[in-house]
Amino acid sequence: MTEVVRDHEGMQQKIDCVQEHLIDLLHRHTLQSPIVDFCVESLKRTNGLIPIRELERYTGYTRRYLEILFKHQVGLSPKVLGGIFRFQKFYRKWAEKHSFEELKEELYDYHYDQPHFTREFKRMTGFPSRTVHSGSD
């Protein structure tokens, strides 16, 4: 690696070379788990609606083991990732300027009630829920 870096002239080129090498090493040593891939795809496909107990049933692994795998490979628990996918569905529509009235019916398929969505909206964005209702940026 020293010789490869030495062959580059500029400091930025040397830094880029080392960075590319480190990223390559990271990709080589990253563990891939078909279990996690399956769970992430299931959560994504259902917009986060698949219950964790269903993932347990489909994979044959316990909730705790799935959480350990997720924390190690994804950095989040399956529950948190599911919440992100659920939220993304509505945030995208809201960002496309759909009114809250248009989203309200579907919202209850993804959240227990409006206060639950309001808390999640504020937690995910840092903005108060009135931002959603007014449709402002």
Total of domains in the chain: 3
Of all residues in the chain, what percent carry a pLDDT higher than 70?
75
Q: Give the residue, 5 or 80, on which the prediction is more confident.
A: 80
Indicate if 97 and 129 belong to the same structural domain: yes
Indicate if 25 and 41 belong to the same structural domain: no
Indicate if 71 and 85 belong to the same structural domain: no
Query: Are 18 and 5 in contact, with CB atoms under 8 Å apart?
Result: yes
Indicate if 70 and 40 belong to the same structural domain: yes
Indicate if 94 and 127 belong to the same structural domain: yes
pLDDT at 23: 76
Mean pLDDT of the chain: 79
Query: Are 107 and 81 in contact, with CB atoms under 8 Å apart?
Result: no
Is the whole model's pTM more than 0.75, yes or no? no
Apex CA 87: angle with CA 119 and CA 101, to 5°? 80
Indicate if 7 and 50 belong to the same structural domain: no
Question: Which DSSP string do the residues of 96-131 spell out, in sequence order?
Answer: TT--HHHHHHHHHHHSSSHHHHHHHHHHHHSS-THH
Give the structural domain span for 93. 81-134
Q: Give the residue, 65 or 98, on which the prediction is more confident.
A: 65
pLDDT at 137: 45
Indicate if 130 and 92 belong to the same structural domain: yes
Residue 136 pLDDT > 50: no
Distances in Å between the alpha carbon of 41 and those of 85, 86, 90, 126? 11, 13, 19, 27
Q: Give the residue, 89 or 130, on which the prediction is more confident.
A: 89
Burial label, 117 (beta-carbon count in 10 A; 0-12, 13-18, 19+): buried
Indicate if 87 and 112 belong to the same structural domain: yes
Residue 13 pLDDT > 50: yes
Pull the structure tokens for residue 100: 């809250």
Write out pLDDT tens, residues 37-87.
999 999 999 989 899 999 999 999 999 999 999 988 888 899 989 988 888
pLDDT at 120: 74
Write out pLDDT tens, residues 20-42.
877 776 666 566 789 999 999 99
Indicate if 85 and 125 belong to the same structural domain: yes
Residue 99 pLDDT > 50: yes
Sequence letter at residue 63 = R
